[in-house]
Amino acid sequence: MITTRNRCADLRRTLERVMRLNPAPDEILVTADGCSDGTVEMVRTDFSMCQLFVNEKNLGSIYSRDRMLRTATEDIVLSLDDDSYPVDDDFLDRLKECFARHPEVSVVTFPELRDDGSYVPPFRSPQIPGHYVAAYANGAAAMRRQDYLRTAGFPSFFLHAYEEPDYALQVYHLGRSVWFEPALTIRHHYSQANRDELRTHHLNARNEIWSVWMRCPGLWIVPVTLFRVLRQFCHAWSVGAAWVIKEPRWWWAAMKGMRNCARCRTPVPWKTYLGWMRMARMPIFSRSDLNGRFGFRDAF
């Protein structure tokens, strides 16, 4: 599944690369999210085998991916950006093998190779051993659809950003996990079209707080909220004064979403929440350690 907005050339390159996969995907779902650059016509004319969804207005990548996941008919769904695609032609066969080796896993994420030859983030390169992680990127991941349908899924009111860590937390609450697989690489050109780093920071920070308000156990909401706000402020400080003085924008935006968060609140046990938070600095490399940290019963 691919969601796109006004990146017609990037999407064409990605679809051409996807069409060379052997075996081919069983289905390709594409959402044109408020596109005005000829994307819809290009997909209908040159890639008619794709199932195309058209949002007349920009509804956001999160809404678009949620709809495609619920519409898909296959259980394993590879999630790509319009500027990312698998490096290896046999990627899909190897992906199936990866899921077969890891029946406890609901999401698999991959190294992202950028144009300058670097991997982002650098601690998820092909040289790093496979391990369980707390977050992933929807431009380089594969998901079990049946698990997605057992959760609340992506919060569509997030619009864009942070749906992946929020969903990863839901996955661990299910007794499942998220796995980084170093042997499969996604080429990510990371187009600069329609990107605004400050806006992305504000969306990510706001949505991170909304996730806290929806998932964190009640007694811990205030301290975890303060910790997240401080961490985001430190990030803004590291960029510069221009970002710091604009931090209150996302604070106010977060406050305006409190009603949505209360309506969608589904807290997880503290052990699960803490175990998930610790994974950012203490990744887990074995299934036995995974079971120990989260208290899972290994039924796989």
Q: What pLDDT, in 10s, does the model give residues 235-256?
A: 999 999 999 999 999 999 999 9
Domains of the chain: 2-188 (3.90.550.10), 197-267 (no CATH)
Q: How far apart are the first and last CA of the chain?
A: 28
Residue pair 182/127 in contact (Cβ under 8 Å)? The answer is yes
| Mean pLDDT calculated for residue range 139-159 | 97
| Strand pairing category for 51-55 and 29-33 | parallel
Q: Look up residue 231 and give its amino acid.
A: R
pLDDT at position 161 is: 94
For residue range 95-133, list pLDDT tens digits in order: 999 999 999 999 999 999 999 999 999 999 999 999 999
Q: How confident is the model at residue 257 (pLDDT cuts 50, 70, 90)?
A: very high
Rounded to whole angstroms, how far apart are CA atoms 295 and 289?
10
Q: Which of 95, 90, 67 is nearest to 1 (CA)?
A: 67
User: Is it the case that residue 39 has pLDDT exceeding 70?
Assistant: yes
Residue in the block written with tokens 């977050």: 135
pLDDT at position 191 is: 74
pTM: 0.95
User: Is it the case that residue 195 has pLDDT exceeding 90?
Assistant: no
User: Is it the case that residue 299 has pLDDT exceeding 70?
Assistant: no
User: Is it the case that residue 193 has pLDDT exceeding 90?
Assistant: no
Rounded to whole angstroms, how far apart are CA atoms 109 and 265?
27
| Mean pLDDT calculated for residue range 73-94 | 97
Rounded to whole angstroms, how far apart are CA atoms 115 and 245?
33
Lowest-confidence pick of 186-195, 240-249, 261-270? 186-195
| Cβ-Cβ contacts under 8 Å for 255 (sequence gap 6 or more) | none
Residue pair 8/83 in contact (Cβ under 8 Å)? The answer is no
> What share of the chain has pLDDT > 70, as a percent?
99
| Mean pLDDT calculated for residue range 273-287 | 94
> What share of the chain has pLDDT > 90, as a percent?
95
